[in-house]
Structure 1
Amino acid sequence: MNKVLDRFLHYVAFDTQSNSDNSTCPSTEGQLKLAENIKNEMEQLGLDNVTLDDNGYLMGTLASNVDHDVAPIGFIAHMDTAPDESGQDVKPQIVKNYQGGDIQLGTSGEKLSPAQYPDMDNLIGHDFVTTDGTTLLGADNKAGIAEILTAMEVLINNPEIKHGDIKIGFTPDEEIGRGANLFDVDKFGAEWAYTIDGGYVGELEYENFNASSAKVICHGVSVHPGTAKDKLVNSMNIAARFQLSMPSEETPECTDGYEGFYHLTSIKSGIARTELNYIIRDFDKDNIHLRKAFMQSKVDQLNSELAKGRVSIEITDSYFNMKEMVEPYPHIIDIAKQAMTDCGVEPHICPIRGGTDGARLSFMGLPCPNVFTGGYNFHGIHEFITVQGMNKAVEVIVKIAENTAK
């Protein structure tokens, strides 16, 4: 089972950070380089119908080894890493048999501390894979790729484990919301699928946020400061007023569970024009509409108060809660829950405070819950995963395939 770790360490060496400013698919060349490498690996494993299209969508099939009809199922992961932190020159470190306390992250001066991340206290004796404190790790979602392919190798090497057709799909640009844009559901050919893109061992998710984005543009007037009296309008001051009008208690750092939020993700500032980029999240479809209306009302209110300058807003829907598309097929969840139980894992069904390719794919006709990878603290320099967690994900994937055939 060290193969899952070997695969993971190989994949994180590829810089696959996606880029929302680039309209191509995939948005970065590194994703194609990783896809070509994985394609060769899939062919060497003996998977059938391995294809990689020009947009970076990689698919393959492990053929059924039973003589009766079994629903074809799929496993999906994404190849890109988040733009939130650098994914270049990742230098993972392995801490074996963790015995508690802080973990120093290379020579960066950063550390993993159970005081900040109490989940570490539940992982005594595990082997940690961490960053060196200068980049993210890439467990989101290269761990999922490594786990899926290792599970396929287990099935190939153990033909006594019976399974139907298993479809494998690896996607680009999930982190910038485009992972399902060009996914060919008919070509994929699964009746349902599981994204292997969750966190701690036991996570099983089929609810996610309804998601929208908002671009608030503050328009000022730029004039030389030496002659600016009664003429200059600093758009950054307008932007500050708008941000301060937003509810400070409805942000990611102040919410949990089924609570929604507004999140200021970036600012592009200047005298004449400042752009505030927000994401808006809520599990309830009615509430997401109320949140969008609230932001519009704040724009209207600020415009009514401004003597000079103005504010405009552009709101775009990103994805929706997959719950309504998965709940009609309870056997999909039941099979995954039973697989976890069979592998000695207590299933923990919880909402995804985010989104996956599976959310979009569920609305495209491919019901697609999300299963754990064993990782923590995604999108930042404190990201880590355990070898035991990755191995357990491999076991669960194998067991899902086996239980489906039963």
Structure 2
Amino acid sequence: MSSFSCSQGHFTLFQGKSTLGCTNSTNFCGKFSSCVQVSSANGQAINGCCREDYLYPSIANIVVYILIIPIIGIGSLGALGGGVVKRPFLEAVLNFNSGPSGNITACLMFGAQLVNQIIITFQKHPYHPQCPAVNYEVGMIYALAIPLSMQFGEELASYMPLLPVLTIQMMFFIVILPICLLYAKRQEVVEQELDEDYTDSHISMASAFKGSIQDEAQAALVYKQFLDESHQILPLIPVLIAFGSFAANEAVILSRSTLSQNSPYFQTNEQDPNPKLSPCNVWNFYMMILLFAVNILITGTTLLVYRKKEEIKDTVRYKMKERYFTPTRRFFKIYGAGCATGFIAGFLGMAAGLTMFVTMVQFGLVAASAGATARLWLFYCMLTSFCIIHGQRFWNANW
């Protein structure tokens, strides 16, 4: 892909290839930008839009950057991510294009959330202090669904102008607020059900195997294993599945060529551009098939393994109301909520945490657990993407 650079005055941030061919007679470039001459790597010169640098000392930059930090901090209380600042502030107010605004948001979010995630990892459940606040099984299901659906959302958004996307974004918040209030009222019911389930599971297990000492001892041993597992601060298997799913999906997604990226597996130059870098090339079709295959394999395997595990839980009557993989329709409800989360995050560029939080309450998580789960798994998603992208850049730079 051609890289253009700006070198005129304080307008040093190139606003993208879509701005090439601009004219000074119109306000095509928008605020804080100017139509100036840009040059490509091979010396080609053409007019393009360039914006003031990230840290250019303008009043607008200073005010918005000051506001962003507390907004991210307050938003994290409700599991809101960097989307609350990306499009409304960085794109709409400061006129950054999608790439730079995403980089700024990722840096701010990573720094702001790192300490928060450590605290969340060791946070205890408000009603069962022996258990962590994070529900790793529900979070894992969301992690299986988010990467693929987020890619589709990003693809759709890349073909739309910013104004319609911002309009849909505002309409989304208007619609979601009454839904949040509705789910908030459900909290009392959820909390009561959790208390009853935790107590009844002990009673039902004891009564089910009463009369057979051997069966009762074996059931008690299995029950204790599940109980000890639920008390783990950081259960290894769900975390590895989530990281593995994100890593596999990101590796395939980054192998594609889109409007915003070229596949790193092909070389190109100005004189002899490789046709395989076209977004419409058959290579991308194969990558989409591979992406679906990877998701079906990982999701199907996870579903089968955890269904078997929950069948054993049913045998020993362990927390009968905490079932996320059985029946199958319940799993796909949670998976569908994860798909909705990913699509909304990719298309709107925000509200992933809010969507996760609201839908998790519907699946029986109390507010504290839903918020902790949403924030932690969003952080895992961001961390995995960060590692994949920068690892790929390191590979390309050195090999």
Same fold (TM over 0.5): no
TM-score by length of 1: 0.31
TM-score by length of 2: 0.31
In proportion to residue count, which structure has more helix?
2
